């Protein structure tokens, strides 16, 4: 572990030198400044863990320095003052200080206060790292399970990565808050988890599906919703909502519930249009990718039919961004067909396009 860093800010050179000598004996790497402006310059060059600052100084006082530190740096500030009558504890803490020390102060008290703040700082950092590690492990587990379901229906597992990116892109364009964007970013990958319950001979069939086969494949939203039912996690609850609703259509002709318009959850509408775009733009076991101009025309033609009109406009207005997302995740054998190149509908799509099962 690297030694902790401390910045001592005081216009009294004697105090600075005493505190530096004391804290260096405790293993701190110490830097010094005589006022707030100088302290901010030091922080730009030498990020530290803790700033120990006086209040009454020229150029920039300690309370203003604390505000600047909180706005621009990650250090924890401790305030020293001999003018306690002029400042209340609440005022100092509300400014952003984690503690304050009265002058004149005993060196031993300074050591105890600084070490306490350092312990708390390291504890918070450890908790954040543990939380992030658990979150990463949790999301990795979800992605591996979803990839197992998707892999039979895709050349690679990159479909779920693209779906996550498309969906988050649309949510951001709708100005949704960060937490909502994250829920759809991670929840979208579970949209087709119900396909794990669909037999391979139907899922990978290159020809047009029979009536019974089409009925079977249309059960995957409900299967997915059952798999994700009663989840405690916000991400899994979002995934369940997406799984059950991403094949609904704006005009009410979708499945499994026949919802229409804004009765379809927004997350389902977002993932639904992203899923169709990716289905058209990529190679599947039953089709080659379609050219961009064909995809554009199909998406435009399904505005207010299959797709939410507002979301359709975003996709069309940012069509190049969607193509870039798609091409950024494709592998060697799955490049898109060039615009204007000859192509033919797959037997499965013929007469029923755009489609995404």
Enzyme catalytic residues: 195
Both tokens of 192, joined, read: 């087709």
Query: How many CB atoms are located within 10 Å of the residue 125 CB?
Result: 12
> How far does the chain reach from its first CA to its final CA, in angstroms?
53
Furthest C-alpha separation in the chain: 89
Q: 357, 355, 65, 322: which is closest to 169 by C-alpha? A: 322
Q: 159, 221, 205, 161: which is closest to 186 by C-alpha? A: 161
| CB 29 within 8 Å of CB 71 | no
C-alpha span between 89 and 82 (Å, rounded):
13
Return the bridge partners of 61, or none: none
Where helices occur in 228-356 by DSSP H, the ranges are 234-245, 266-281, 292-301, 309-317, 319-328
| CB 115 within 8 Å of CB 26 | yes
């Amino acid at each position: 572990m690297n030694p902790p860093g401390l910045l001592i800010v005081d216009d009294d050179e004697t105090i600075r030198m005493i505190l530096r000598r004391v804290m260096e004996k405790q293993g701190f790497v110490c830097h010094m400044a005589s006022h707030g402006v100088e302290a901010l310059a030091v922080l730009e060059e030498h990020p530290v863990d803790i700033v120990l600052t006086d209040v009454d100084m020229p150029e920039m006082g300690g309370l203003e320095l604390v505000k600047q530190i909180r706005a621009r740096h990650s250090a924890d500030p401790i305030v020293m003052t001999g003018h306690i009558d002029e400042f209340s504890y609440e005022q100092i803490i509300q400014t952003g200080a984690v503690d304050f020390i009265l002058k004149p102060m005993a060196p031993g008290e300074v050591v105890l206060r600084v070490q306490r703040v350092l312990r708390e700082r390291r504890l918070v950092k450890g908790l954040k790292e543990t939380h992030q590690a658990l979150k990463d492990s949790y999301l990795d587990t979800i992605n591996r399970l979803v990839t197992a379901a998707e892999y039979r229906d895709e050349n690679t597992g990159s479909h779920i990565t693209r779906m996550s990116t498309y969906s988050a892109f649309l949510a951001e364009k709708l100005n949704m808050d960060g937490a909502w964007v994250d829920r759809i970013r991670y929840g979208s990958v579970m949209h087709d988890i119900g396909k794990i319950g669909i037999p391979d001979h139907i899922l990978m069939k290159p020809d047009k599906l029979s009536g019974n086969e089409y009925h079977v494949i249309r059960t995957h939203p409900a299967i997915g919703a059952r798999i994700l039912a009663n989840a405690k996690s916000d991400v899994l609850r979002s995934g369940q909502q997406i799984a059950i609703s991403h094949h609904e259509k704006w005009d009410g002709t979708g499945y499994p519930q026949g919802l229409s318009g804004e009765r379809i959850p927004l997350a389902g509408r977002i993932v639904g249009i992203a899923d169709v775009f990716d289905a058209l733009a990529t190679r599947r076991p039953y089709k080659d990718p379609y050219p961009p101009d064909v995809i554009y025309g199909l998406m435009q033609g399904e505005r207010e039919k299959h797709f939410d009109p507002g979301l359709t406009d975003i996709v069309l207005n940012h069509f190049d961004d969607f193509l870039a997302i798609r091409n950024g995740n494709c592998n060697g054998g799955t490049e898109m067909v060039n615009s204007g190149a000859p192509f033919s509908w797959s037997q499965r799509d013929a007469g029923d396009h755009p489609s995404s099962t």
